[in-house]
Each structure stands twice: as structure tokens, then as C-alpha cells.
């Protein structure tokens, strides 16, 4: 039986609602509603002024109709009129209507604000609360302008009733959130903090929310709240269950207030005052102890309330990250929850442990639960719980358990929800790279990723595996072999074809000796996938084919045949057509040397941060989870630096730039692992013996045994671009010797001497390639007048074999001063 009281029966409303519910169809409902709307309209327009009760009833009916989903375009005036009634029930309906159907008519706004003003100054707590609730619910700019200075006064005035203070605190909170510029700090702020000591727990509950918000924007102004909050929390936590009677919920004292206090404390660093800190630590220990005590009630409400406090306390412990004992205890407690029969608790424990994993104090403790977490990953029935388990595995991963965790994540991936696959792929790729000691494991892992979840393997992931294989000699053969085998699967993912095509194109020669993976076999394997692939993959394959022609001349005829056919050279896609045509031509006219040079093995990639990490952060957003990565990197950075002080700067920077890659670019250690058999050549090393004033600082390191050209890979000694060549020239203003020009094939050096009107200049040409220059000639051109003053004498015209200075020519010149 619906509860109706004597005051506001509103029988007409009940009848109307019954009528609507009894309508058999949507049309009947609309008909009934329209009938009522017409009735109300006429009543509102009528000559007779409606009494308060009727107005209230009709406005309430309009509200009901609106909440059913129908538009209401009248009734606002009548609702506003109700505000000036001195009857609570009428006021309440009026306020409710205007809070739900917010109207931006300026006249109405003015009237509403007027009514609110009257109620606020009425000294009637019931009316004051109605007004405050309206402001809190609507929170418009106009209301903020009208009342932002009034509310703080009400809040801290000595004679304000408790319930009004509660409402005023939260009303002020709303105004502060929507119009912070209008809520000015003032005298009231210190008094607001002292509301934490109020004897009315409801007032404290409301005030705390306000203080939490204010202190985030003005931490210094409100920092006195910390010690007050600790005292309050301490009193609650140590209270007997009979103390806080009204606020004890299923034998738990003030659970929501405790949670709010713990949350407020998370806005500040640990208290500096030793006594306060000691008290707080004691509090936290008590909370942890209570979790171990037998429960006072079997009801789930009791355990939920208790655990709500526990989880918030653990959050605070993690936030401080300074009490190892507490962190370990927290971890152990969560560990127990991992196997609790309630799914909620298992979920929350997994989630909370994730953040514990990145603290150095609790990382090891978290790792002890790896088997339980793996089991959760396999057996939990709620996918969100499985996902937390996967997140935790990622967070607890380090060198000691990387292989195990990556294996588990891969097997999870096979059956994972599609919505989380991309993120899982990124995470596995990051872990595999970060913790690879044996890079063949890394290659296997990525190829497995492609096999299991190819669609979700983004470009960043397979680019990265290529980069790593290119940069690491030791894994190239393994990669070629593994990719070759993977391609033999009947249905292999297109990403596999891309990776396979690229790797075989570069390193297919490493497995070509085995008849099972001979060049033609490799080619046929790749080409068998060709027609199944999209345009970008086909383009990549064409490049692989031309590389094959270079690597395996015996395949040239076969491949040219393929390139020659109409479907390639007349392909409708411009890129494919161009490649086919150009590669075909290149294979026909280029000499083997040129072909070899053009299709030389890819040089190692320069060191760069992992774009995969950046992509993961972008995906997750700069939020809590991505910070796990930051923590990983910081920890990694810490390890590299001998675990020293990470410093707040890195943390702050990392936090504020959540989307930028890790500052620790050396994450992979690729530079240290790259083939540095030959030390980098410095520019003048080539001709160092020619110049008596020795060249640059490290010639001995740079030069090989016979003192000449060092066999540095071209990429580490790049050709200076044109601007640098100009620079080289300019230095001869004050120097007589040095390198005049250099590129990948040739280095030209000058040595000159001058005495009064005589000058002598030697030009030296160094062959940097490993092949002999044929038909090498030089010409020197002199501008205008100079010609007559210069005598050219070729001193030597022999070409000598590679890696040596092949010829040098001296020019003597005589210059008049």
C-alpha cells in the first residue's frame, strides 16, 4: 500500500498515476497524458486563482509526465510561485520541479533566486535546506553569482543548525566546482577545517568532502586539516562499537567517514610532525589488525564496510610508500583475499596489488603470489577479474619471472576477450623486449603474438621486432629460420607475411644453405602468400624479391619472370606497379656491384625509445594504470643507476608527461649490444699518416692494423651533408691540412704549404669501398686568372686495390702574392 500521509495526500496524483499504469498501449498513454495536460493548462490559465494544494498537485503531475519522457513547456511559473508558499509540501514540489526542469529564462531565474534568498534568511532550517539543496542540484552560474558569498557565512556561523551546515558544506562544494572563481577564500576557510572536530558526525562527513576538494586546489591553505583528520580517524578506529551509535553500521564504526578521512590524507604527503605520523601509523596498523580478527557479524554488509576502510587504508599506505612494514602487511592481507570466496574481494585484491607491485618495498612480496594470480587468470569466470589478474602479472613482471609471465599471458591471449586483445599484445611485446636476455626468446614471443592475435598486433610491435633483429647479429639466423617455419602454416596472418618477407629479404641467406630453405623454396613460400595479401604487404614482398635477386643470383630469372607479368607491371595500384617496373629494370641493368650496394644489408637502427610504450600509454590514457609503466621505467632506471635515489623530479616529470616515452632510452640496452666490433671512424682517420700534424683525437682507436682505413659500418660514420662540406672548406681559411670532402665512397684530403709567393698543395683521394675504383680521373678547375699561375703535376696515376689510399696527386702552384 503506497505510503501517504495526511498532509499531502494528493489523491488526484495517485489516480492519475494509476490511470497511466493501466493504459494498455503507448497510444492510450499518450492520449491520457494529453488529456491531463489540457486539463492542467486550463486550470493554470483559469480566472480563479488556484490554491496552493491544487497548484502543488498539478505541478507534481507535470513533473511526473516529464519523468515519463514527455516534454513539458509550461508550468514553470506556477512552480516558481510555489516557492513563496510557507507550506513545506508546496515549497518542496516547487523546488523539485525547477531542479529537474531547469529553465534558463532570466525572469524566472531572478524569481527563483529571490525565493532562495528568502528561504536562506528565513532561519527555518527546513526551508534553508530546501534552498541549499536546490542550489546544490542546479548549481547554475546565476546562483553562484547570487549566493557564493552567502553560503560560507551560513556554513561557519555559530547558530547554524547541524543539518543546515551539512547541506551548506556540500552546496558550497558544488558552487566551488562549477564556479571556482566566485568562491573566494577568506576567514571562513580556517573555520571550515575545524568542522573536522564537530561533534555531529554528519557535519564532519559533509565538511570533509568540501575540505578534500578545496585542499587539492589550495594545499597550503588547508594543510592544518591533516593533523585534525588523523585525530579524528584515530578516535573512530579505536572506538568501541557502542561509542558511535548512530554512525555504527553493522558493527563497524563510521565506515564512510573513515574512508573519507583516509582519502583526504592521500592528498598530502606523510605528516611531518612525528607525533601525528606515529598516531597515523598506529591507526593503519589497527586497521590491518582488525582485518585479521574474527568478524563480529556474518553479514556481508559488515565485511564490506570493514573492507572498504581496509582498502582505503591500503591506498594510503601505497600513496606514502614509505613504511615497508605496512606495505608488506598490506600485501599479505591482499594475498589472503586473492582466494576469498567472494568475487568482489578477489577483484579488489588483484586491483590493489597491482599498485603494490611497483613499490620497491613490496614488489618481492607481491611476486610470491604469482601462482595464485596465474590461476586466477585461467579460472575466474568474470572477465573483469581475469583482466585484473593480467594487469597484475604485467605489473609484477621482472627478470626473474618474465619468461613464465609472458608464457601465461600468451596462452591467456588465445582465449581473451576481443576488447582487451590489443592492450594485451602491447603489454606482452613490452615485457618480451624489456626482459629479453636471450633474443631468440623475444623473436619467438613476437611471432607467437602474431600467430595468436595477428589482427591486434599493431605496426609498432612488428616494426620493433624488425628493428631488433636488424640490430642484433646474433639473432638474425634464428629469426630467419623461425619465420620461415612460421610461414609454412597453412593459414598464416598477414602480419606474419610482412615480418617474414622483410626478414627473409634481409637474412634469407643465413638459411639458404639448407636445401629445405633454399632460395627458391623461400621465394616460392613468400610468393604463395602474395595474392592473399593487401597492397602494403605486397609492396613489401616486392622489395623482398629484389633483395633475393641480389642475395641469390640463381633466382633472378624466376623472380624477373614474376615481376614481368602483367599483374605486376600493369598493376592498378601505382605503388605496386612502380616497384615492379623499377625493380625489374634494376635487376636487368645494374651490375652486381651496384645491385649489391643498393640492396646492401639494412644498417642498424639508431637508438630510440620504444614507441610501443607510448602507444600503450595513449591507449590507457594518462591515468592510474599507465603510471605502472612509469614506475617500471623508473625502477628500471633505478636499477641501471645502482638503485640510487630516483628523485622526485623524474617522477613529477614522468607524471606530467604521461604520454611521452620513458626517459630511460637505454631500456633495451641496444646500444651496448649493437655490433661494435669496429670502433667508429672519425673523419680524419683515413689519411692520418699523411698529415704529420695528426688528425682527430682517437686515430689509433679508429684505425685498423695497417694504419689505414678502418672498416666502420657506413652508418656510424655518415657522409657529411652538403652544409658540412662547406664547413670543411671553411676551415682551410686557417688550416693548411685536413679533409676537404668525404662521402661513403671517397675521401679527399688536402695538404698544403706556403712560403712567400710559393705554395704547394697535395690532394689525396682515399677509396672507402672494398672494391677497386676503375677509370678514376680527377680534374681541377681554376677560376679565371688563377689558371696561369698554377702548375698541375699528377704524381701518381695508379689505382690501388680497396681499403687503401689508391692514388694521390700533387699539385704545385705558384702564386704571386
**Placement of cell 696561369 in the chain:** 788
Query: How is residue 668 written as a grid cell?
Result: 633495451
Instruction: With CB under 8 A as the rule, give the number of residues binding another protein.
Output: 91
* Span interacting with another protein, options 86-94, 227-235, 511-519, 560-568, rule CB under 8 A: 86-94
136 vs 584, which CB is nearer to another protein?
136
**Does position 436 bind another protein by CB under 8 A?**
no
- 11 annotated binding-site participant: yes
**Alpha carbon distance, N-terminus to C-terminus of the chain:** 121
User: Cα dihedral angle (157, 163, 165, 167), rounded to 10 degrees?
Assistant: -140
**Does position 513 bind another protein by CB under 8 A?**
no
Q: Which of 27, 246, 566, 693 binds another protein (CB under 8 A)?
A: 246
User: Cα dihedral angle (87, 92, 94, 98), rounded to 10 degrees?
Assistant: 160
Which residues in 109-128 contact another protein (CB under 8 A)? 126
Q: Which of 48, 381, 516, 755 binds another protein (CB under 8 A)?
A: 381
**Does position 266 bind another protein by CB under 8 A?**
yes
Instruction: Count how many Cα atoms sit within 13 Å of the Cα of residue 619 in the half-sphere of its side chain.
Output: 17
124 vs 772, which CB is nearer to another protein?
124
Which residues in 33-72 contact another protein (CB under 8 A)? 60, 63-64, 67, 69
Q: Which of 434, 464, 615, 634 binds another protein (CB under 8 A)?
A: 634
46 vs 69, which CB is nearer to another protein?
69
Contact 315, 262 (CB under 8 A): yes
Q: Which of 229, 385, 406, 599 binds another protein (CB under 8 A)?
A: 385
290 vs 319, which CB is nearer to another protein?
319
Q: Which of 54, 113, 209, 683 binds another protein (CB under 8 A)?
A: 209
Q: Which of 98, 131, 170, 193 binds another protein (CB under 8 A)?
A: 170
- 53 annotated binding-site participant: yes
**Does position 623 bind another protein by CB under 8 A?**
yes
For 779-797, letters b (16+ CB in 10 Å) and e give eeeeeeeeeeeeeeeeeee
By CB atoms closer than 10 A (0-12, 13-18, 19+), residue 159 is exposed
Instruction: Count how many Cα atoms sit within 13 Å of the Cα of residue 71 in the half-sphere of its side chain.
Output: 2
- 123 annotated binding-site participant: no
Q: How far is the CB of 748 from another protein (least distance, A)?
A: 55
Contact 328, 361 (CB under 8 A): yes
Q: How far is the CB of 362 from another protein (least distance, A)?
A: 12
Q: What is the DSSP string of 145-212?
A: HHHTTHHHHHHH-TT--HHHHHHHHHHHHHHHHH-GGGS---THHHHHHGGGG-S-HHHHHHHHHHHH
For 699-719, letters b (16+ CB in 10 Å) and e give beebbeeeebbbebbeeebeb
Q: Which of 120, 144, 229, 259 binds another protein (CB under 8 A)?
A: 259
**Does position 382 bind another protein by CB under 8 A?**
yes
Q: Which of 652, 782, 795, 815 binds another protein (CB under 8 A)?
A: 652
249 vs 776, which CB is nearer to another protein?
249
How far is 628 from 406, CA to CA, in rounded Å?
A: 17
Which residues in 710-739 contact another protein (CB under 8 A)? none
307 vs 767, which CB is nearer to another protein?
307
* Span interacting with another protein, options 204-212, 609-617, 702-710, 727-735, rule CB under 8 A: 204-212
How far is 603 from 606, CA to CA, in rounded Å?
A: 9
- Provide the pairing of β-strand 746-755 with 758-767: antiparallel
20 vs 673, which CB is nearer to another protein?
20
How far is 528 from 561, CA to CA, in rounded Å?
A: 15
Q: Which of 44, 251, 256, 773 binds another protein (CB under 8 A)?
A: 256
CA 599 to chain centre: 38
**Does position 392 bind another protein by CB under 8 A?**
no
Q: Which of 154, 156, 226, 267 binds another protein (CB under 8 A)?
A: 267
**Does position 487 bind another protein by CB under 8 A?**
no
256 vs 605, which CB is nearer to another protein?
256
* Span interacting with another protein, options 500-508, 543-551, 628-636, 728-736, rule CB under 8 A: 628-636
Order of strands, sheet of 790-793, starting from the edge strand that comes earlier in the sequence: 737-742, 746-755, 758-767, 805-814, 790-793
Q: How far is the CB of 391 from another protein (least distance, A)?
A: 12
E strand or H helix at 774: none
**Does position 390 bind another protein by CB under 8 A?**
no
Q: How far is the CB of 118 from another protein (least distance, A)?
A: 18
CA-atom Rg of the chain in angstroms = 40
Q: List the x/- string, 4-33, binding to another protein by CB under 8 A.
A: xx-xx-----x--x---x------------
- 373 annotated binding-site participant: no
137 vs 537, which CB is nearer to another protein?
137
* SS3 sequence of 651-711: HHHHHHCCCCCCCCHHHHCHHHHCCCCCCCCCCCHHHCCCCCCCCCCCHHHHCCCCCCCCC
* Span interacting with another protein, options 25-33, 263-271, 404-412, 704-712, rule CB under 8 A: 263-271
Residues with Cβ < 8 Å from 128, sequence gap 6 or more?
119, 120, 122, 154, 164, 167
Contact 288, 334 (CB under 8 A): no
Which residues in 528-557 contact another protein (CB under 8 A)? none
Contact 699, 684 (CB under 8 A): yes
Backbone angles phi, psi at 61, to 5 degrees: -65, -45
Q: How far is the CB of 480 from another protein (least distance, A)?
A: 43
Which residues in 210-239 contact another protein (CB under 8 A)? 213, 216
- 263 annotated binding-site participant: no
**Does position 654 bind another protein by CB under 8 A?**
yes
Q: How far is the CB of 224 from another protein (least distance, A)?
A: 18
* Span interacting with another protein, options 262-270, 393-401, 435-443, 739-747, rule CB under 8 A: 262-270
Q: How far is the CB of 429 from another protein (least distance, A)?
A: 24
**Does position 201 bind another protein by CB under 8 A?**
yes
By CB atoms closer than 10 A (0-12, 13-18, 19+), residue 40 is buried
Contact 498, 537 (CB under 8 A): yes
Which residues in 750-779 contact another protein (CB under 8 A)? none
Q: Which of 655, 665, 701, 795 binds another protein (CB under 8 A)?
A: 655
Q: How far is the CB of 117 from another protein (least distance, A)?
A: 20
**Does position 384 bind another protein by CB under 8 A?**
yes
How far is 202 from 645, CA to CA, in rounded Å?
A: 44
Q: What is the DSSP string of 507-575?
A: HGGGGTTSGGG-HHHHHHHHHHHHTTS-HHHHHHHHHHHHHHHHH-GGGHHHHHHHHHSHHHHT-SSHH
Which residues in 298-337 contact another protein (CB under 8 A)? 301, 304-305, 307-308, 311-312, 315, 318-322
Query: How is residue 427 written as a grid cell?
Result: 603489454
247 vs 412, which CB is nearer to another protein?
247
Which segments are annotated as binding site? 11-12, 43, 53, 57-61
Amino acid at each position: 500500500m503506497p505510503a501517504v500521509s495526511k498532509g499531502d495526500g494528493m489523491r488526484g496524483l495517485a489516480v492519475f498515476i494509476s490511470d497511466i499504469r493501466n493504459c494498455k498501449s503507448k497510444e492510450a498513454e499518450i492520449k491520457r497524458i494529453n488529456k491531463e495536460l489540457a486539463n492542467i493548462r486550463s486550470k493554470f490559465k483559469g480566472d480563479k486563482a488556484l490554491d496552493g494544494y491544487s497548484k502543488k498537485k498539478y505541478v507534481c503531475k507535470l513533473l511526473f509526465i516529464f519523468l515519463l519522457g514527455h516534454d513539458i513547456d509550461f508550468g514553470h511559473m506556477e512552480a516558481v510561485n510555489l516557492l513563496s508558499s510557507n507550506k513545506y509540501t508546496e515549497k518542496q514540489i516547487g523546488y523539485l520541479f525547477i531542479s529537474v526542469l531547469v529553465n534558463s529564462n532570466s525572469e524566472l531565474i531572478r524569481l527563483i533566486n529571490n525565493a532562495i534568498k528568502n528561504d536562506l534568511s528565513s532561519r527555518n532550517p527546513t526551508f534553508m535546506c530546501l534552498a541549499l539543496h536546490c542550489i546544490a542540484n542546479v548549481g547554475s552560474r546565476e546562483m553562484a553569482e547570487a549566493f557564493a558569498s552567502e553560503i560560507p557565512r551560513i556554513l561557519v556561523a555559530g547558530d547554524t543548525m547541524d543539518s543546515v551546515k551539512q547541506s551548506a558544506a556540500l552546496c558550497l562544494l558544488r558552487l566551488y566546482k562549477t564556479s571556482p572563481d566566485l568562491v573566494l577564500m577568506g576567514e571562513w576557510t580556517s573555520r571550515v577545517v575545524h568542522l573536522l572536530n564537530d561533534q555531529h558526525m554528519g557535519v564532519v562527513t559533509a565538511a570533509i568532502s568540501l575540505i578534500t576538494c578545496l585542499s587539492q586546489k589550495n594545499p597550503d591553505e588547508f594543510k592544518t586539516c591533516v593533523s585534525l583528520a588523523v585525530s579524528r580517524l584515530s578516535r573512530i578506529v579505536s572506538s568501541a562499537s557502542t561509542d558511535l551509535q548512530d554512525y555504527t553500521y553493522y558493527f563497524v564504526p563510521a565506515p564512510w567517514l573513515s574512508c573519507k578521512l583516509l582519502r583526504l590524507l592521500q592528498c598530502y604527503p606523510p605528516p611531518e610532525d612525528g607525533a601525528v605520523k606515529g598516531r597515523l601509523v598506529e591507526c593503519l596498523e589497527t586497521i590491518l589488525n582488525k582485518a585479521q580478527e574474527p568478524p563480529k557479524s556474518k553479514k556481508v554488509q559488515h565485511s564490506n564496510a570493514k573492507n572498504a576502510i581496509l582498502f582505503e587504508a591500503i591506498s594510503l599506505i601505497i600513496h606514502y610508500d614509505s613504511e615497508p612494514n605496512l606495505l608488506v602487511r598490506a600485501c599479505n592481507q591482499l594475498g589472503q583475499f586473492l582466494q576469498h570466496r567472494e568475487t568482489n574481494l578477489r577483484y579488489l585484491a588483484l586491483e590493489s596489488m597491482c599498485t603494490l607491485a611497483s613499490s620497491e618495498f613490496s614488489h618481492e612480496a607481491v611476486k610470491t603470489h604469482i601462482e595464485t594470480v596465474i590461476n586466477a587468470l585461467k579460472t575466474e569466470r568474470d572477465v573483469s577479474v581475469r583482466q585484473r589478474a593480467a594487469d597484475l602479472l604485467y605489473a609484477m613482471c621482472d627478470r626473474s619471472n618474465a619468461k613464465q609471465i609472458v608464457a601465461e599471458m600468451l596462452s591467456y591471449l588465445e582465449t581473451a576477450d576481443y576488447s582487451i586483445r590489443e592492450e594485451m599484445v602491447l603489454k606482452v611485446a613490452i615485457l618480451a623486449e624489456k626482459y629479453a636476455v636471450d633474443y631468440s626468446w623475444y623473436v619467438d614471443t613476437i611471432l607467437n603474438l602474431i600467430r595468436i592475435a595477428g589482427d591486434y598486433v599493431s605496426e609498432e610491435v612488428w616494426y620493433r621486432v624488425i628493428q631488433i633483429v636488424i640490430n642484433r647479429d646474433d639473432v638474425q639466423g634464428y629469426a630467419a629460420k623461425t619465420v620461415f617455419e612460421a610461414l609454412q602454416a597453412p593459414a598464416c596472418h598477414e602480419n606474419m607475411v610482412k615480418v617474414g618477407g622483410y626478414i627473409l629479404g634481409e637474412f634469407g641467406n643465413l638459411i639458404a644453405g639448407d636445401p629445405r630453405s633454399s632460395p627458391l623454396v623461400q621465394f616460392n613460400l613468400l610468393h604463395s602468400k602474395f595474392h592473399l595479401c593487401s597492397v602494403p604487404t605486397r609492396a613489401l614482398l616486392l622489395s623482398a624479391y629484389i633483395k633475393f635477386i641480389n642475395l641469390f643470383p640463381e633466382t633472378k630469372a624466376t623472380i624477373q619472370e614474376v615481376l614481368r607479368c602483367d599483374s605486376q607491371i600493369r598493376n592498378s595500384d601505382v605503388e605496386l606497379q612502380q616497384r615492379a617496373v623499377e625493380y625489374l629494370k634494376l635487376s636487368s641493368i645494374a651490375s652486381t656491384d651496384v645491385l649489391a650496394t643498393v640492396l646492401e644489408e639494412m644498417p642498424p637502427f639508431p637508438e630510440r625509445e620504444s614507441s610501443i610504450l607510448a602507444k600503450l600509454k595513449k591507449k590507457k590514457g594518462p591515468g592510474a594504470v599507465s603510471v605502472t609503466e612509469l614506475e617500471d621505467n623508473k625502477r628500471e632506471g633505478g636499477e641501471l643507476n645502482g638503485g640510487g635515489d630516483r628523485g622526485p623530479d623524474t617522477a613529477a616529470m614522468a607524471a606530467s608527461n604521461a604520454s611521452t616515452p620513458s626517459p630511460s632510452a637505454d631500456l633495451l640496452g641496444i646500444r651496448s649490444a649493437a655490433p661494435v666490433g669496429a670502433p667508429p671512424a672519425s673523419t680524419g682517420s683515413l689519411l692520418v699518416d699523411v698529415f704529420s700534424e695528426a688528425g682527430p683525437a682517437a686515430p689509433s682507436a679508429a684505425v685498423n692494423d695497417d694504419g689505414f682505413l678502418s672498416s666502420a659500418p657506413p652508418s656510424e660514420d655518415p657522409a657529411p651533408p652538403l652544409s658540412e662540406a662547406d664547413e670543411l672548406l671553411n676551415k682551410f681559411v686557417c688550416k693548411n691540412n685536413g679533409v676537404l670532402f668525404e662521402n661513403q665512397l671517397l675521401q679527399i684530403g688536402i695538404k698544403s704549404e706556403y712560403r712567400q709567393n710559393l705554395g704547394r698543395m697535395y690532394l689525396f683521394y682515399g677509396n672507402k669501398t672494398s672494391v677497386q675504383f676503375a677509370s678514376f680521373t680527377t680534374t681541377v678547375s681554376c677560376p679565371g686568372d688563377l689558371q696561369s699561375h698554377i702548375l698541375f703535376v699528377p704524381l701518381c696515376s695508379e689505382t690501388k686495390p680497396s681499403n687503401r689510399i689508391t692514388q694521390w696527386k700533387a699539385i704545385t702552384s705558384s702564386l704571386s702574392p
